Structure 1
């Protein structure tokens, strides 16, 4: 079953690898150039849901880089050896139209590594000195986009580079506290949170597919509830952490003691370049490292490394070494290697989230959406940590719509 609503997809980081792959995925679905492989929303147990149709999605976004979408798609095809030539050619006309819908983003508290990448700025405006001023501009872009295209709603999806996390002591506990900070030049909230506030204040749902702060603070969650809208996040679970959320419950269920779990990650895309900065890297490591202790109920020694290897392009490799103790104190190991194309792994999940979150908004759900936990490394809303339990929660939510 499908709706006839027209939905806007507003991408933060609209010219990045995940964004352009998601756009290519929508075009491929429209043209019949791809089946539903890797799209959770295309599984049989969700077939009855009134999810938005691919033909009814209109795309725009915010970005800090000026390179055309077609160049990024061609780079993925040429350097990372993904996407067929037929799909790249079929996407070009649509990409030119979407380029015209991309507006300059904001660099507020994104850190020096991301600031270095920026070459796409808004016109100089002496009045835009404070976060509240920036939010007004972002909201004007969203409102104009929704009005011009006669859209029923817009989902704002953050797929931008990972920001450094501000000190948790500075996260606003209430919306009043967050709102007051927006009028001060020392406001600690990063750009991802400004995008979240811009969307939620307008009653639009927000999805944070990155480890950045976004809508995580309690004060921003309160805003979502006050505006009768919803949000989901954070940090898409696409590879190594997905494996951890599946394997760690096995050790717990077999009463095998995990003594150490080491994960080494290498990849070469723009995200990897940004994560070369220790402040940005710490946000990602923190998101990846919390899961093992939460599932096992105790804290084995863990180590996570993330290294940028430029020659790999959009491909990433994760090698994990798990040292565990078995019967009669015998030590044993399990090792696995996960290799995949970062954007190809992430994009279908991002599209699933847009469809599910849009439906949740239409149903009147507010605040964080914990039943979407299976999509995230650090899901909001206090959901279970095990992947099987998380996915059952998604299926249970879908069954409630049948009832």
Structure 2
């Protein structure tokens, strides 16, 4: 991090969302409603958290040079060509009492055609999809979209947060090893280059910060990291930490702090929205499973305390259950043990609203991503780990999963930025 003053948040900020489904439309509707004083953006650190422990300390939105909600212009891409009001109605997250007062503004936001490959998301298809001679042409088309959107809407800056579906798992290969190999792969339409990777490449080339809200392999490829560092563009990911995993990263640090043993942690979810349908495919579930499984390893440290955590059995299941819709239900059975190895159990049933929990995360990431860009902080932004299931560490570092340690890292960075003026 340099010591130059952080550039002010002047003018309009384009917040671009690949994926204008349940999460994307909930974010947009919430911000539009907040502007009119019709709803509160609860859950957003940027809007409510204070800069310090003093109850009279200023809120982040006042203490830091963050973009104001009134200055945000929303856009995005989706494989379905319906406007955001229709998409929000179909998603079934928000009630008419929240959608109808902002209907005209939502109807004015229509998705640009998406880069999509059904080999990567097998349980979805839609008509609003780009075509190109190769994947490089698709990337260039996305860059054109970004530049045209900013020009048409008078935007000074842009930031992008991935809100689209979970792709099938991708193993890293030679095409991901360097920027040179990756760009050759784009020209050759290498099948190991996913749509998320194409979006990441296009945004970084356009100088736009890119935050990955899905567990898709993209920003953690050496090629994309190389490009982000070369161009000085902030990146961070992956996979929003919202429901069941949020609860894990709250509870697990407490067990570790008290030196309580954990012999097993069984998690199952039922989910009925579009995300649930996508995760019903084993390939996409494998990607999500790896993200959800990773969170306990660094918190319940078996290397440091093998006698307590080495034998822990961790299982994760997700079932597509259409009647539940966006209201996901997460069940956790936690087998713990204490003094003289006597066993105990904890059971958690979290009846959460997936998109309601994700929306403030998207807003914060967009505003913090823009802040990082104006502060000249290119490459991996590990200080944003607070928001991710699988936080991407700076090269050579170990990812931190403890929610409270992540929050300390976030605020330490904000204090350092504030010192720069």
Give TM class, smaller chain. Answer: over 0.9
Q: Is the 8 A contact 1:268 1:310 kept in 2?
A: yes
SS of match in other structure, 2:155 = coil
Q: 1:356 to 1:110 in 2, by over 3 A?
A: farther
In structure 2, the partner of 1:283 is 287
Q: Tell me which residue corresponds to 2:4.
A: none
CA contact (8 A) 2:196 2:218 kept: yes
Question: What is the 5 A alignment of 1:188-203?
Answer: 188-203=192-207
2: distance between equivalents of 1:327 and 1:107?
54
2-structure distance, mates of 1:171, 1:25 = 40
Q: Deviations over 1:156-213 (max 9, x none)?
A: 2110010012113456122222222111133411100100000001111101111112
1:75 pairs, out of 74, 77, 90, with 90
1:380 aligned to 2:389? no
Partner residue in 2 for 1:94: 105
The yes-or-no answer on 1:343 pairing with 2:350 is no
| Correspondence 1:82-231 to 2 at 5 A | 82-83=94-95, 85-99=96-110, 102-108=111-117, 110-111=119-120, 113-114=122-123, 116-122=124-130, 128-170=132-174, 172-231=176-235
1:268 and 1:308 in contact (8 A); partners too: yes
Structure 1 counterpart SS, 2:122: helix
Q: CA deviation at 1:121?
A: 2.7
C-alpha RMSD of matched pairs (Å): 1.6
Q: Offset at 1:109?
A: 6.4
| CA–CA separation in structure 2 for the residues paired with 1:266 and 1:112 | 19
Deviations, residues 127-149 of structure 1 (Å, cap 9, x unaligned): x2211111011111111111222
How much does 1:397 deviate?
1.1
Structure 2 Cα separation of the partners of residues 19 and 35 of structure 1: 17
Structure 2 partner of 1:29: 34
Deviations 1:317-356 (A, max 9, x none): 1110111221111111111111111111101110111001
Q: Pick which of 47-56 and 294-303 moved more.
A: 294-303
Over residues 52-85 of structure 1, what are the superposed CA-to-partner deviations in whole Å (9 max), with x where a residue is unaligned?
1111111111111123321222234xx45x44x3
- Rounded to whole Å, the distance in 2 between the matches of 1:130 and 1:92 is 38
SS at match of 1:266: strand
1:310 and 2:322 matched:
yes
**Structure-2 separation of matches of 1:37 and 1:175:** 40
331, 334, 340: which one aligns with 2:343:
331
Kept in 2, the 8 Å contact 1:109–1:189? The answer is: no
Q: TM-score, normalised by structure 1?
A: 0.93
CA distance in 2, matches of 1:176, 1:389: 37
Match for residue 400 of structure 1? 416
Task: Give distance in 2, aligned partners of 1:236 and 1:274.
Answer: 16
Q: Does residue 63 of the first structure (1) align with residue 78 of the second (2)?
A: yes
* Cα offsets for 1:345-390 (capped at 9, x unmatched): 1011101110011011001001010011010000112442211000
Query: Is the 8 Å Cα contact of residues 371 and 383 (structure 1) preserved in structure 2?
Result: no
**In the alignment, what sits opposite 1:11?**
17
Contact 2:121 2:278 in 1 (8 A): no
- Is contact 1:266–1:307 with CA below 8 Å preserved after alignment? yes
Does structure 2 retain, via aligned residues, the 8 Å contact 1:11–1:62? yes
Q: Which residue of 1 aligns with 2:407?
A: 391
SS at match of 1:323: strand
In structure 1, the residue matched to 2:5 is none
Structure 2 unaligned spans of 5+: 1-7, 52-59, 303-309
Q: Secondary structure at the match of 1:315?
A: coil
| SS of alignment partner, residue 176 of structure 2 | coil
Q: What TM-score results when the alignment is normalised by the length of structure 2?
A: 0.89
Report the secondary structure of 1:186's partner residue: coil
Gaps (5+ residues) in structure 1?
Answer: none
